[in-house]
């Protein structure tokens, strides 16, 4: 089985901007790196899920521009695949102007292929030379690179039957108790890494409070709480989490620490647990262990529900993960953590992901707040007493499977409908 260090390095990574256009930019950068100079033309094919999630979200470094296309074009001029999901962090105003001209001159085509999940295929051309990169299954998982049609490398995954499974694939085969037990095996360097994520997500949250970005939900919640804000833990959790998403969805050029392939997942999995830990004056190590528990619990659900899905993962999966992390932080056991996760899933499993955009802050805020209340109920030995809806009170694993079935079977046409709606705007 993988170690907690391996888990954190694969499932908990810095990301600049929304991870769907980030994946597009990463594939483009890798494809362009196979050419002897700048690309003349670029063809990008993405899954429906990537298309939907990237169509309306702000792109860092673009003065408020949105969408997969500008992320792809920008990567032609400044993308560096070595940066992973921070691929566009060197973007300048000059790069942006070149990217806009590239699109205006019709040198870029981007289409959806009808597939669900994570898939990006980018082919860059310069004269007779071509470079192609394919990302599949997770946002930074470059599975194939070709130069002039010839395979060169399969970076993080090999498609042969003997390849080693990724951490996310192993998570899907691991039972909950064995998985979350890894949170108790953190090394000092793992604790430091988790705190890098806390500080990263705090910084973008503070930016969301200090500037008029996104919906301004974080500021609104804080102001609505009035003088009691300092002592209103639920309001603090919602405001701090939403402020981070306000800034991120507006395209602010600041990284966040992601979880299970998503920056908004990372905000929800990290900040509510941190706020509760700070409020209760928990130690640095206690907070780190609880946040590790939150990441592990989030990945447990995401590995079964799918990396990208019709259901809003930042609220449902990461909200459930945060609830489990808060339970762990406040002295609860695995059974109580599962009860808290059941409450979150039973509450908001029907929340649809209609693409990444400013209103994601509403969903992040909801997931964060419901995580807190679910944890409080579970810690008082409350929770659902009989099976209802997707919740099977006798079998937590079955509850997660039920939620995943609702997502994959009950909502299988949701993305197509949403793309039609979004494309008509």
The predicted-structure confidence for 325-363, as pLDDT tens digits, reads as follows 999 999 999 999 999 999 999 999 999 999 889 999 999
Could you tell me the pTM of the whole model? Answer: 0.90
Q: Are residues 413 and 281 in the same domain?
A: yes
- Count of domains for the chain: 2
Flag whether 6 is in a domain: no
Question: Are 206 and 303 in a shared domain?
Answer: yes
| Domain match, 319 and 394 both | yes
| Calpha distance 81→131 (Å, rounded) | 13
pLDDT band at 163 (very low <50, low <70, confident <90, very high): low
Which of 153, 183, 207 is the C-terminal boundary of a domain?
153
Same domain as 346, residue 205: yes
User: Residue 159: pLDDT above 80?
Assistant: no
Which CATH number fits the domain that encloses residue 127? 3.30.1330
Q: Please tell me whether residues 51 and 186 are part of one structural domain.
A: no
- How far is the C-alpha of 256 from the C-alpha of 268, rounded, in Å? 11
Final residue of a domain: which of 91, 122, 153? 153
- pLDDT surpasses 60 at 157: no
Owning domain of residue 372: 168-423
Give yes or no: residues 139 and 186 share one domain.
no
The answer to whether residue 3 sits within a structural domain is no
Asked whether residue 4 is domain-assigned, the answer is: no
- pLDDT score of 156: 41
User: For the residues 111-118, what does the mean pLDDT come to?
Assistant: 90
In a domain, 162, yes or no: no
- 131/197 same-domain check: no
- Identify whether 128 is part of a domain: yes
The mean pLDDT of 269-298, rounded to a whole number, is 98
Q: Are residues 145 and 201 in the same domain?
A: no
Same domain, 203 and 94: no
Would 278 be classed as within a structural domain?
A: yes
Average pLDDT, the chain: 94
Give a yes or no: residue 159 inside a domain: no
Residue 364 maps to a domain: yes
Give the mean model confidence (pLDDT) for residues 379-399.
96
User: Could you read off the pLDDT of 178-216 as tens digits, one per residue?
Assistant: 999 999 999 999 999 999 999 999 999 999 999 999 999
């Amino acid at each position: 089985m993988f170690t907690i260090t391996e888990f954190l390095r694969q499932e908990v990574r810095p990301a600049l901007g929304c991870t769907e256009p980030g994946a597009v930019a990463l594939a483009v950068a890798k494809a362009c790196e196979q050419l002897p100079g700048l690309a003349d033309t670029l063809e990008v094919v993405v899954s429906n899920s990537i298309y939907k999630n990237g169509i309306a979200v702000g792109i860092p470094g673009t003065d408020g521009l949105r969408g997969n296309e500008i992320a792809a074009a920008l990567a032609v001029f400044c993308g560096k695949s070595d940066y992973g999901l921070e691929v566009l962090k060197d973007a300048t105003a000059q790069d942006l102007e070149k990217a806009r001209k590239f699109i205006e001159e019709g040198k870029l085509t981007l289409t959806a292929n009808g597939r669900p999940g994570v898939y990006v295929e980018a082919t860059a051309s310069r004269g007779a030379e071509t470079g192609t990169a394919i990302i599949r299954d997770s946002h930074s998982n470059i599975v194939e690179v070709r130069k002039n049609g010839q395979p060169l490398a399969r970076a993080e995954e090999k498609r042969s039957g003997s390849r080693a499974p990724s951490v996310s694939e192993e998570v899907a085969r691991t039972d909950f108790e064995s998985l979350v037990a890894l949170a108790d095996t953190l090394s000092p360097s793992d604790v430091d890494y988790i705190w890098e994520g806390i500080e990263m997500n705090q910084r973008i949250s503070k930016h969301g409070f200090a500037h008029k970005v996104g919906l301004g939900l974080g500021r609104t919640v804080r102001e609505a709480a009035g003088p009691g804000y300092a002592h209103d833990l639920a309001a603090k959790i919602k405001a701090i989490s939403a402020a981070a998403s306000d800034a991120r969805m507006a395209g602010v050029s600041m990284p966040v620490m992601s979880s299970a392939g998503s920056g908004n997942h990372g905000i929800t999995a990290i900040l509510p647990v941190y706020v509760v830990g700070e409020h209760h004056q928990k130690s640095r190590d206690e907070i780190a262990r609880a946040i590790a528990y939150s990441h592990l619990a989030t990945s447990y659900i995401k590995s079964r529900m799918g990396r990208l899905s019709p259901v809003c993962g930042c609220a449902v999966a990461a909200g459930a993960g945060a609830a489990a992390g808060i339970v762990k932080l406040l002295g609860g056991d695995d059974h109580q953590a599962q009860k808290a996760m059941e409450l979150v899933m039973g509450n908001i499993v029907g929340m649809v992901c209609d693409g990444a955009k400013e209103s994601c802050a509403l969903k992040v805020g909801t997931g964060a707040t419901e995580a807190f209340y679910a944890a409080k109920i579970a810690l008082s030995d409350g929770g659902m007493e009989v099976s209802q809806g997707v919740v099977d009170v006798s079998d937590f694993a079955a509850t997660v499977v039920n939620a995943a079935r609702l997502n994959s079977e009950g909502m299988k046409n949701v993305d197509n409908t949403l793309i039609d709606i979004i494309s008509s705007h």
